[in-house]
Structure 1
Amino acid sequence: MASAPPRPTLFSLGKGKDKDVLPGGEREQISERRNFWLLAIFAILILGIGIGLRNPWPSDEPRYTLAAKQMVESGDWLFPHRGVELYADKPPMLMWLEAASFELVRNWRIAFMLPSFLAALGTLWLIYDLGARLWNRKIGRYAAIGALMCIQFVFQAKRAQIDPLVVFFITAANWGLLRHLLCGPNWRLYWFGCFCAGLGVITKGVGFLALLMLLPYAWAAIRRWNSIATIDNGAWWRWSLGLIATLAAIALWLIPMLLAARAHTGDPTYTAYVGNILLKQTAHRYANAWHHIHGPLFYLPLMIYNWLPLSLTYPGTLPRWWQSLKAKDARVLLPLGWIVLVLLFFSASGGKRDVYILPIVPMLALITAPYLEEMLAKRWLRTLGAIFLLLIGGCMLGLGVYALSAHPAFATKLAYDRGFEGPADSLWWMCIIIGAAQWLALAIFRLRRVHYAIAGGMLALWIVWGVWAYPLLNDSSSSAGLMNRVAAHLGTQDEIGLIDWKEQNMLMLDRHAMDFGFSAPTSQQFTRGVQWQSTSPATRWLFVQEPAMGNCVDRSKAIDVGHANRRDWWLFKADAVVPGCVPKNSDEVPEPEDAAS
């Protein structure tokens, strides 16, 4: 049967000589379309289950959603705020997208998760398309499934943090570059990739890392490796337009922000904002990290256990990559060389977090996919898959059964620290269900089809997490329960001020709250708060962390509203304040802004 002509795809930009042919006859194409949509449904289910069932959870989600909410309410989308302060630790891309999502759906429980969900789906599509073009559609499916079976990738995709978004933009940049360098030439896709790298820069600063793909390409082109596209390298001006495309994307945010900051010449906070976001949070943070200091080999073990079960393939992929490199296969060299360069970049800095190297996962899945079917035919990989399910299932089952039967002290402490007030047994039954699902999947599919068992076990894990854990933990994790208790003490005309507060406190309140700075010393916040309260003592309350009160509040006249997010919280009116008393600063070491991102 003659092959059907290739169909144009969603991202077929430009009219370059991109080799777009996706092999297969008509029957095979129908089968592949069915398989593609089954994969899409599977991905949507895993990534989307639970959206709308919880509020933002610390550490990062509430601050980004609060900034987005303030954008919508104030109309100021250029400068994110955290209460009355400017928030300068991250560019506003995620906050823009959360605010835009809210404008569409008008529901913050849904809107705050949409950017991560769509970014993760987009990432999977991009590596599917790359796998299909560089090899075939089956390899494209394997690439997408490989990333979807990476626990850290899905865990972060189900969080409203910056990392899923920066992974998408870096992967989109890689997609455009690889389409040009391996399937091209296609200069429009090259410029598109460079533009996406710029969007990654204004998302989290590190989007430029995608451009490191040009280094292994230069090596492969000089050495005349296989699969390299024939590109007229004499057209140097076309290459230089990539830098212009990158800078143009950055300028979309940078130029309006600088002009607006300049218009506030009388306000030093805007000058500080520019210096903080352009220098301290980028070059200074990389060169002189002040937190999360680890050694140069920090990432190596994380690439094993954070990326399970994808990392089970390492014993098979490492020798196969080596054989491909010896055969001068640029399809492997470019992504693999890029992975090594990104790993070296982050390892060179003293400050390290596990999520920094998350953008590696899509390219890792891409160059694992061509060998996945062959490896699954080997007993060693199926055995490793079975051991993985036995271990994760056994650990979850063991933890759940032990906690239910022995009621250990750590279980009580965990519930107290997190302010969990629901039925404690539900947490442990949840563990038992997850563990049992892993073992049941293995019993159904057995060793011969263990890859189906792993997919089923991961699906069960994320369904339980989204449908059971989200509603169960939401009140305690999001501070919704705490702030509902606070609201119960307030009359309709009452006002509230926040001292030594966290973003989730302001976000979960049912009314506008006055704050006296977020990063200001707690003694200063307390003094300002008491002054504000004294002008209308009958209707103004102060909400505060226990340490920030010191000996300046008569606790017999204050209200203990409970323990949440590992902190004790109080509510009081002016009659509880000791006149003239100023508490000592109780500031904790600030939480890193990227504690989970």
Structure 2
Amino acid sequence: MQRMPLIAVLAAAFIVFSANIGGYDLWPPDEPRFGQVAREMMQSGNPIALTVNGQPYKEKPPLLFWIIALVSLPFGDVTETTARVPSLLAAMAAVYFTFQLASRMYGYRVGLCAGLVLITSVLFWWEARSARTDMLLTACLAAALYAFWMHHETKSGRWLVAFYVATGAAVFAKGPPGVVFPLLLAIAFYWKRSDERRALRLGWGLLAIAAVLAVWLVPAYVSAAPSSSATPGHSLGLAENLYRQTIGRFLLGVSKPRPPWYYLENLPLNLFPWTLFLPWTVWFAWTRRRENDAMRLLFCWIIPAIVFFSISSGKRAVYLLPIFPACAILIAYSVVALSDDTQRTWVRRSVGGVWAIPLLALGVLAFPLGYFAWIADTIDFDLSFAGTLEKYELTVNYDMVRAAAVVTGAALIFAVHAIVVTARRQAGAMHFAMAGHFAGLAVIAATLVLPEVNTLKGASGFCAPLRQLSERGTTYNLYSVAFSREEYIFYAKHKHIPYLVDEWPIHAPPDMDPAEFIGQLRALGSALRKSTGPVEIADWANITDAEVEALRAKSESVFSFAKAKSPLVDEFKTSVGRSVQEFAQSTANSGPTFLIVQESDWRWLLPFAPELRSLTLVARAPVGSERVALFANAAGAGIALNGTQ
């Protein structure tokens, strides 16, 4: 076996995927949640009953959380690096199986090229450094695809066992999708080949997977429902989750409803830059569709999956990540054939010329955009303790300019190189040049650009005052008001108490349809947030009576307008007002207490309870698309300032 190509591919994968992998925060929505689930597993010592914020977590199976916890164990806690390492390792495993399968089908040149295509496809690169379940699923399914092919070639029972073990691992990684891809493959590949299909023993294999899954699922059910009184609610949660994750997502799109042609638009973008070879690859593969079983295998892995997920109303780009290894092999096979074809140099030159265009555009635009970000309006970040406000005006500093300059220089150099390679008579190395260019830009982006994006997207800096208290072992209460996000739990290292998150303090009238009731409440809440947004607040640490009155006037205008459309307005106003006032009083009079709240929510809360202004502003910053504030009562402000309980 020629090991050098494999070693080279895996080394390239490690460099590209691991660059600065822990150099920025876990980003919502999934990364902080998954990191927190793994952390709570480590804290409880219970790998069966998954929790987040102390509540049962039923969205995903446990494999990723087990691996994150295992990687984090030597370090004592989950970090950005330990949360992402499982995806890094899974991506390298997917590259390994892709290389092996491509090499066995078409030789080591195609195996090497397939590995490089996979490493430098934009979505695959991104998921390889993200703490999510999709790359783990892809690695398991890449192993299943390789085992399926080996079983088909050798008829060996051990490869059949390996196929079902990998499929079972895929189910533990992400649930039903772990079965969907192999099942579609088996049906399509052995269509009209009943004897070979029976040799797969699909029924027994799926039964074995279900039995192994039950080994975790049953204890998880029992652990999460310790009492008979809790069981019915938990049963409903499991049933609801099963609906949401399978039937609901497939038929109704409860997650991300998209049109049927979504993947025809999205898949080429996510394969970039290899999208540039797609016209050639599609023609090349289609003309050889009956060439042999190897081509049949790739078609039967890719096409049924695209059709299946296109029929589904719920669509996300990552749902098709498991077909990327097969796509990489098809692209590599066609590209290697193209590089050997002396009659079609115009195709290679066309691809090279087109590839130089986005590189030139990036080189021309990166520095002006970075400089503009540097001189743009300052980002307010307010810190105050015990009523004394210190205002820090943080600009996007010279690091942004440096990052933009490096991106500009690299992109222009790569563009010139692409033009030089294209101008050569054969341009046979164009695919290697593209892989190198993308890899270089990916490492630069991970090292210099993503940390700058993190200044606007990450929650770690905002949560620093809370995290310091948690690490000192200080006891305090933490409320998340009108919204609940796991990044604040993760970076505060403290569970929070949701307030006005899941439901409003109002009961549905007996004669109103529940769906209509929920819809009207959501509409009222949304109208309140929008109406108070335009009111100017000069100093968030000292909101004036006039500003509160302006907020109240906006709220009253919403209630007056909504009365003609909803019978809930009066009760909504009374019930929410009473609840907010009680919350304000209990918060002020309790022990050390902190509130995390979005500014858009604080605006409509203040007219209900102006006494909330007595709370001390501890921190205020943009986190993602929202500006978020951290408030403390007198006891909380005292410990934040003095570091004592």
TM-score bracket, shorter-length normalisation? 0.7 to 0.9
Q: In structure 1, what is the Cα distance between the partners aligned to 2:491 and 2:64?
A: 20
Q: Is the 8 A contact 1:325 1:333 kept in 2?
A: yes
Q: In structure 2, what is the Cα distance between the partners aligned to 1:237 and 1:180?
A: 9
Tell me: CA distance 1:129–1:189, structure 2 relative to 1, closer, same or farther (3 Å): same
Q: In structure 2, what is the Cα distance between the partners aligned to 1:82 and 1:193?
A: 33
CA displacement 1:125-152 (0-9 Å, x = unmatched):
0111111222322222222122112111
Which of 351, 358, 365 is the matching residue for 1:392? 358
Confirm whether residue 302 of structure 1 aligns to residue 266 of structure 2: yes
CA RMSD of aligned residues (A): 3.3
Residue identity in the other structure for 1:151: V
Shift of 1:574: 4.2
Equivalence for 1:570: 629
Equivalence for 2:91: 120
Q: In structure 2, what is the Cα distance between the partners aligned to 1:253 and 1:517?
A: 33
Shift of 1:562: 1.5
Residue identity in the other structure for 1:505: Y
| Structure 2: tracts of 5 or more residues without a match | 382-391, 506-575, 637-645
Tell me: CA distance 1:255–1:554, structure 2 relative to 1, closer, same or farther (3 Å): closer
Equivalence for 2:537: none
Equivalence for 1:70: 40
Shift of 1:306: 1.6
Q: In structure 2, what is the Cα distance between the partners aligned to 1:243 and 1:513?
A: 39
Shift of 1:415: 7.1
Residue identity in the other structure for 1:361: F
Q: Is the 8 A contact 1:476 1:482 kept in 2?
A: no
Equivalence for 2:131: 160
Q: Is the 8 A contact 1:200 1:207 kept in 2?
A: yes
Q: In structure 1, what is the Cα distance between the partners aligned to 2:109 and 2:362?
A: 33
Paired residue secondary structure (2:154):
coil
Residue identity in the other structure for 1:78: I
CA displacement 1:451-483 (0-9 Å, x = unmatched):
232122112112112222343344542211111
Q: Is the 8 A contact 1:131 1:140 kept in 2?
A: yes
The range that moved more, 93-102 or 449-458, is: 449-458
Equivalence for 2:61: 91
Residue identity in the other structure for 2:263: Y
CA displacement 1:23-57 (0-9 Å, x = unmatched):
xxxxxx5xx32232222211110011112322311
Tell me: CA distance 1:517–1:302, structure 2 relative to 1, closer, same or farther (3 Å): same
Equivalence for 1:460: 440
Q: Is the 8 A contact 1:86 1:273 kept in 2?
A: no
Q: In structure 2, what is the Cα distance between the partners aligned to 1:572 and 1:439?
A: 47
Which of 274, 293, 314 is the matching residue for 1:330? 293
For residues 520-559 of structure 1, what are the structure 2 equivalents within 5 Å?
A: 520-521=502-503, 533=587, 536-537=590-591, 539-549=592-602, 550-551=605-606, 552=609, 553-555=611-613, 557-559=615-617
Q: In structure 2, what is the Cα distance between the partners aligned to 1:42 and 1:116?
A: 16
Shift of 1:348: 0.5
Q: In structure 2, what is the Cα distance between the partners aligned to 1:362 and 1:527?
A: 57
Equivalence for 1:588: none
Q: In structure 1, what is the Cα distance between the partners aligned to 2:131 and 2:289?
A: 38
Equivalence for 2:348: 382
Paired residue secondary structure (2:48):
coil
For residues 483-494 of structure 1, what are the structure 2 equivalents within 5 Å?
A: 483-485=463-465, 493=474
Equivalence for 1:151: 122
The range that moved more, 463-472 or 483-492, is: 483-492
Paired residue secondary structure (1:54):
coil
Q: Is the 8 A contact 1:421 1:476 kept in 2?
A: no
The range that moved more, 68-77 or 383-392, is: 383-392
Q: Is the 8 A contact 2:109 2:336 kept in 1?
A: no
Paired residue secondary structure (1:446):
helix
Percent identity over the alignment is 21
Confirm whether residue 313 of structure 1 aligns to residue 286 of structure 2: no
CA displacement 1:249-281 (0-9 Å, x = unmatched):
433432322343454432154223322332222
Tell me: CA distance 1:488–1:274, structure 2 relative to 1, closer, same or farther (3 Å): closer
Q: In structure 1, what is the Cα distance between the partners aligned to 2:90 and 2:378?
A: 33
Q: In structure 2, what is the Cα distance between the partners aligned to 1:101 and 1:526?
A: 43
Tell me: CA distance 1:572–1:429, structure 2 relative to 1, closer, same or farther (3 Å): closer
Q: In structure 2, what is the Cα distance between the partners aligned to 1:192 and 1:306?
A: 30
User: RCO greater where, 1 or 2, for CA within 8 Å and sep 6 or more?
Assistant: 1
Q: Is the 8 A contact 1:298 1:347 kept in 2?
A: yes
For residues 98-247 of structure 1, what are the structure 2 equivalents within 5 Å?
A: 98-106=68-76, 108-181=79-152, 183-204=153-174, 205-209=176-180, 210-219=182-191, 221=193, 233=196, 238-247=201-210
Q: In structure 2, what is the Cα distance between the partners aligned to 1:290 and 1:532?
A: 37
Residue identity in the other structure for 1:452: F
Q: In structure 2, what is the Cα distance between the partners aligned to 1:414 and 1:320?
A: 53
CA displacement 1:132-177 (0-9 Å, x = unmatched):
2223222222221221121111111111111111111222221211
Confirm whether residue 446 of structure 1 aligns to residue 428 of structure 2: no
Shift of 1:233: 4.3
TM-score under structure 2 length normalisation: 0.74
Q: In structure 2, what is the Cα distance between the partners aligned to 1:366 and 1:37?
A: 18
Confirm whether residue 360 of structure 1 aligns to residue 323 of structure 2: yes
| Structure 1: tracts of 5 or more residues without a match | 1-28, 223-231, 578-597
Residue identity in the other structure for 1:76: N
Equivalence for 1:45: 15
Equivalence for 1:5: none
Residue identity in the other structure for 1:572: F
CA displacement 1:226-254 (0-9 Å, x = unmatched):
xxxxxx74975845432233324433432
Q: Is the 8 A contact 1:526 1:548 kept in 2?
A: no
Shift of 1:355: 1.4
Residue identity in the other structure for 1:507: F
Q: Is the 8 A contact 1:91 1:277 kept in 2?
A: no
Residue identity in the other structure for 1:559: L
Q: Is the 8 A contact 1:339 1:360 kept in 2?
A: yes
Q: Is the 8 A contact 2:144 2:166 kept in 1?
A: yes
Shift of 1:340: 0.9
Q: In structure 2, what is the Cα distance between the partners aligned to 1:161 and 1:308?
A: 21
Confirm whether residue 272 of structure 1 aligns to residue 203 of structure 2: no
